[in-house]
Chain A
Amino acid sequence: MPKLAELYNCKSVRELGEAIGKAIGDEDDYASLVDLEFAQDKVGFADALHRFLRRFLTFVKKHSDWFCPSQERVAELMQLVDECAAEMPYHDQRRKEQEAIRLVRAALLSHALAQACIIKRQQIHERRAGGEQ
C-alpha cells in the first residue's frame, strides 16, 4: 500500500496542493474544496481539478506573484492515482480507485492546509505592518 508521506513529497501534489491552499487562504475558495471532497471516481476527481484550475486562473490575474500549475500536473496526479490504485490490496477495481483518490486527496489537502496557513500568517504580518505605519 502506498504511503501518504511519499505522495506528500510528489511535485504534482505539492504544486496543485499549494495552489488550492492559496485559493482558500486568500480568496476563500471553499467551493473547490467541496468539489474535490465530493469526487468519488477518477473522472469526477479530474473534473474537480480542472474546474479548480479554471477558477485559479482568475485569481492569478489578481496576484502577480502567483503562478498557475499546468494541465500536465493534473495528468501527473491522475497517473499517481492509477499507480496508487494498482498497489491497493483490494480485489474490487472500484474500491481500489476510491481508496487511491482518498489517499492522493489527503496529500493534496495537506499541502493546501500548510499553504493556507502561510497565507494567513502573511495576512497577519501585513495587517501588523499596516497598523504600525
Chain B
Amino acid sequence: MQFFITKTGLDAFDVARAWGLAVLLNVLIEEEVKLQDFGWAFILQPATLAPEDAKLAGLGWRTLIKAEDVRWQQVFMTLRKKQEKLSEEEVSQVQQVLESNWQSLMRELRQPNNAVTIGQGKTLPGGLEPSAFKSLRHDTKASYGEEQLRVPEEHWALACLGMATCGTYRLSREAGQSNWLALLPIPQSVRFNYFRDVQQLLRPHSIRYRGVQNAATHYAVQLVEGLRRRAAAQGSLQDQFSAVLYFTLFGAGQQTKPSQGSQLNLAPLMQLVQDDPHGSEVVLKWLDYCFRLGATEGAEDLALAATELVMRWDLDAYERLVRVLVRVLGREQVKRKSQSAFREVLWRTDFHAIHKVMEVMYYA
C-alpha cells in the first residue's frame, strides 16, 4: 500500500508533511516505512498496514508529544503570543487533530491525485515554512493587509509533526544578533525506522559559524559523514538525501520572523559515498576540519571558501579553497589559536584526499 504526499510547491511544507507521515505510520505500525521522492510527490510505503481500529495512544506517540528533543516550541516561534503557553496550545491541537482524523487522512493520502487546498484551515507558522510568512499578521494603522496562508488542519498537523521531529533548530549569533537556523533534510530514498535516526544526522556539536550558508554547509557535510558511517557499517548506502533545506529566523522587535534560506544540493557528496563508502571518509573529514579551522579568528576566508565549494563544487570554488588553504598554512596566529584543527587539516591534506575532492567535482 502506498501513500502519496503530492507536492504543493511549498518546499518545507511538503518535506515536513512527508516526514510527518513517515513518523505517524511508524508509530502506528511500529515497523519500517520506505520514503521516496518521485519529483511530483513523496511516496511512502509502510512494511504493513495499520489496522483501522488502531489508536494513537501508545508510548511512541506520547514520546513525540512530550519529548524534549521534539522541537515544538521552535516550530511555532513566529506566532505572537506568550511562547510556552502558545506552544502547548498548538501541540495539543496537533495531537487532537491527528488522533481524531488519522484514518480519514490516510484514506485521502492513498489517492495519488490528492491535493492540498490552500486558503482554508490553519495558518502555516513561519518556523515551519518561511515562504508562507510574507505579510503582517495582525491589525495595524496602515492599510496594508494580506491573507494568511492557510492549509487544511490535517496537513498542517502532519507538517508540524514532521518539522518538530525531523527538523533541527540551532541558535547562533551573527553580527551581534541571535538567529535561529532551521534545517530539514530532503529525503531521496530513505528507510525510516525511528525519528531520532534522522535527528541525529543534523544535530552534531556546532562550532562558530560565519553566516547561514557556512553553518548549513557544515551541517550538510556532517550529515553525509553520518550516512557514510552507516553505509560503511552496512556495506552499502541505504538512505539517500537529495538536499538540505535551511532558513533563518530572527527576532524583529515584537516577533520572530523568517529571513534568508535555500536548499543545499547533496547529490555530489551522496554519489561519492555511494561509490566508495570507506574511501569517501578522507574527503568528508578534510572538509569538516576545513570548516573547524575556518571557525578560528583569522581564518574566516577558509570557512567561506569551504562553504562555496560545498555549495557549488566548481573549479572557481575549488581553486579558491586551495589558494586560501595554502595561505592559512602560513598564518601563525591561526596555528596558535586552534592547534588541534590546524594539525588535523595539515595531516588530512594529502594527494589522496585532494584527488577524491576532484572526483566529487566530476560528479557535480
Contact B362 A3 (CB under 8 A): yes
Quick one: which of A1-45 are within 8 Å of B by CB?
Answer: 3-5, 8, 24-25, 28, 30, 33, 37
Contact partner of A25 (CB less than 8 A), chosen from B318, B329, B350, is: B329
Contact partner of A8 (CB less than 8 A), chosen from B349, B350, B358, is: B358
Interface stretch among A50-58, A60-68, A71-79, A109-117? Answer: A109-117
Contact A120 B315 (CB under 8 A): no
Complex Cα distance, B329 from A28, in Å, reads 10
Complex Cα distance, B358 from A112, in Å, reads 15
Q: Does B330 contact A (CB under 8 A)?
A: yes
Provided the pairs A113-B354, A117-B346 are in contact, do residues A30 and B330 lie with their beta carbons within 8 angstroms?
Answer: yes
Interface size on B, residues (CB 8 A): 23
Interface stretch among B242-250, B261-269, B319-327? Answer: B319-327
Q: Does A102 contact B (CB under 8 A)?
A: yes
| Interchain nearest-CB distance for A4 vs B (Å) | 5
Q: With contacts defined as CB atoms under 8 Å apart, how many contacts are there between chain A and chain B in the complex?
A: 66
**Considering residues A3, A24, A110, which has the most beta carbons from chain B within 10 angstroms of its beta carbon?**
A110
Contact A5 B355 (CB under 8 A): yes
Q: Does B351 contact A (CB under 8 A)?
A: yes
Contact B358 A109 (CB under 8 A): no
Contact A117 B330 (CB under 8 A): no
- Residues from chain A with Cβ under 8 Å of B315 in the complex: 4, 102-103, 106
Contact partner of A24 (CB less than 8 A), chosen from B318, B326, B345, B355, is: B326
- Produce 1/0 per residue, A88-119, CB < 8 A to B: 00000000000000110110011111101110
Contact A5 B319 (CB under 8 A): no
- Produce 1/0 per residue, B324-356, CB < 8 A to A: 011101100000000000010111011100110
Q: Does A121 contact B (CB under 8 A)?
A: yes
Contact A33 B326 (CB under 8 A): yes
Contact partner of B350 (CB less than 8 A), chosen from A24, A103, A112, A114, is: A114
Q: Does B79 contact A (CB under 8 A)?
A: no
Q: Does B361 contact A (CB under 8 A)?
A: yes
Provided the pairs A106-B315, A112-B326 are in contact, do residues A117 and B350 lie with their beta carbons within 8 angstroms?
Answer: yes
- Residues from chain A with Cβ under 8 Å of B347 in the complex: 117, 121
Provided the pairs A4-B358, A8-B354 are in contact, do residues A113 and B346 lie with their beta carbons within 8 angstroms?
Answer: no
Q: Does B300 contact A (CB under 8 A)?
A: no
- Residues from chain A with Cβ under 8 Å of B11 in the complex: none
Contact partner of B330 (CB less than 8 A), chosen from A24, A111, A118, is: A24
Residue of chain A at shortest CB distance from B356: A5
Contact A4 B361 (CB under 8 A): yes
Q: Does B37 contact A (CB under 8 A)?
A: no
Contact partner of A114 (CB less than 8 A), chosen from B318, B343, B349, is: B349
Contact A102 B355 (CB under 8 A): no
Contact partner of B349 (CB less than 8 A), chosen from A3, A103, A105, A117, is: A117
- Residues from chain A with Cβ under 8 Å of B346 in the complex: 117, 120-121, 124
Complex Cα distance, B338 from A56, in Å, reads 31
- Residues from chain A with Cβ under 8 Å of B343 in the complex: 124
| Interchain nearest-CB distance for B308 vs A (Å) | 14
- Residues from chain A with Cβ under 8 Å of B358 in the complex: 3-5, 8, 110
| Interchain nearest-CB distance for B309 vs A (Å) | 12
Contact A5 B359 (CB under 8 A): yes
- Residues from chain B with Cβ under 8 Å of A124 in the complex: 343, 346
| Interchain nearest-CB distance for B183 vs A (Å) | 31
- Residues from chain A with Cβ under 8 Å of B350 in the complex: 114, 117-118
Residue of chain A at shortest CB distance from B343: A124
Quick one: which of B167-225 are within 8 Å of A by CB?
Answer: none
| Interchain nearest-CB distance for B56 vs A (Å) | 52
Known contacts A24-B330, A110-B354, A113-B354; 11 further A-B pairs (Cβ under 8 A): A8-B354, A8-B358, A24-B326, A25-B329, A33-B327, A109-B319, A109-B322, A114-B349, A114-B351, A116-B329, A117-B349
Q: List 4 tightest A-B contacts by C-beta distance, closest first.
A: A5-B358, A117-B349, A106-B319, A109-B322
Chain A residues near B (Cβ < 8 Å): 3-5, 8, 24-25, 28, 30, 33, 37, 102-103, 105-106, 109-114, 116-118, 120-121, 124
